[in-house]
A and B are shown apart, each in its own frame.
Chain A
């Protein structure tokens, strides 16, 4: 019996008119070439690291957890935390000052930012360290009047205080701009709403504006913190025993320069890794109300990205099998 249109239409998926064709995804040979090059470079790095005796991995291992290195590392972390704490606190104050309607207050903040952003941090460190050459004694009192409290500058400005002042005060200038951009990103309607509920300026800033501004402020602040971790190595010029100074003191004695620099690199990278995790945790905390709920953490996201491809491919395969 000849096939008539009606049976064909009511027929199964096997009828020629309803054949479901499989799709073939576009191939990307260029990507595969790039992957091959990356693999090659990586392999040669590994080969050189294992074959080249100048790396002196045994020396690296010997010093990695040694007492002077760990002391240097703890000083570096202290400096980073202390300077960033000063920088952030100062940044918030300066940002609020810059947004003040009073021109003297906002100009004062602008001048501070101009000076401390404009002078290299290295120069600022040296300047604080040699402060006693300018002011042998530091005193608190009335300008042109009697002094209330006076101390020897060299007692107050140690290597540590010079380092924290130099790094923290200049950081404040950068943080001020970051905080200001965060505050400006909060819509003026939020202020109106808070005011209309009877909230005062400080309460509004603390409960409404800053928590929202933090969402904008945190990613660049994470950047600044990681930058600060590395900038602390500049205190080598005032001989404060941070990680890099501790390393350099050892290789100046033993001439094992490369393995000791590798020790420093390993620790800087380790701390940076920790800081990145901390940052992504804080970002999720302040993303409340802006991000989808229960967004998976970095690990889960990476896992999903790595295995998603094969999972989708599997699903496609199953679907294709069903169609066939």
Chain B
């Protein structure tokens, strides 16, 4: 096992919030490391790296991150705490393991998409919305592909425009929320954007062709496409926070105070893990945590107020996308809920609690450890998400063996 370097501030997650936190801590004179699972820092928002994006915001943070000294530990996954001030870290592209000690820890682990099951959602070609964007940014050729984008949230029009730029033929953007709440987004996409509209079922015609049954203003229509991207917003990635012992709310967001400090001393959390709010909020929170973790009160004061303003705007935005009841009733008895273990809705109906269902049906016992089905069963049945178990995300036995080797 390699050395356990100590940093004054360690950031987990290299999305906008993590990058901002790391920059602010480093600018405050702290030694800083950022640990991220991906090959290149940037998170989902700046997937592929800041330098790929021409925006003012991206250039600004690229410049700030290059002006200071930060250790970027990429292709690296935090497994758990090895001891109270030490992270156990595994490489994702090799069998190497290491430990990283920290003075302060900032969790910027982001969010994943919320999937709600409908008949056919396991067919290849059906992905999340951010997922299709991520796949496209990592080289998927969607030029000329017929795409339906569905679900809910401000991500839908953003991804639609983006995929169009990549040459996709976006047939429809189906937003489940009513027009009076989200109407102003329609203009940016054009005529394909349709509110009060949702996917009811998908079937495969073979040859990679999908038939998507869509409920639109009381009518049912069928759209043929090659790719269906459907997701209903975001779910915080708070598994690591749980393993560390930070208090996590029933909606999976990490509890933080005004300075982004969690219930665990010396541990901060920023961005989507504290409540879904988009990249701007994450950047503001990252700055707050970066300065707070560094004890840089002078720089902290002005960003606190800015953070609160951005939060307020985003909270209003997201409130418009409350999910309609019909979305939770799309799955049928044979619709898969737990994709890892192929557990269908019908076999879960007789259970009163998640833990019983898990033990008896294997729901949530697969490699994703309930990351996909946990948020579903919470919403469909009101089950609380079970405790997170080591290693949080799969690591090889060789790595597990090596992590105790000291």
Q: Do A and B bind each other?
A: no
Residues of A within 8 A of B (CB): none
Residues of B within 8 A of A (CB): none
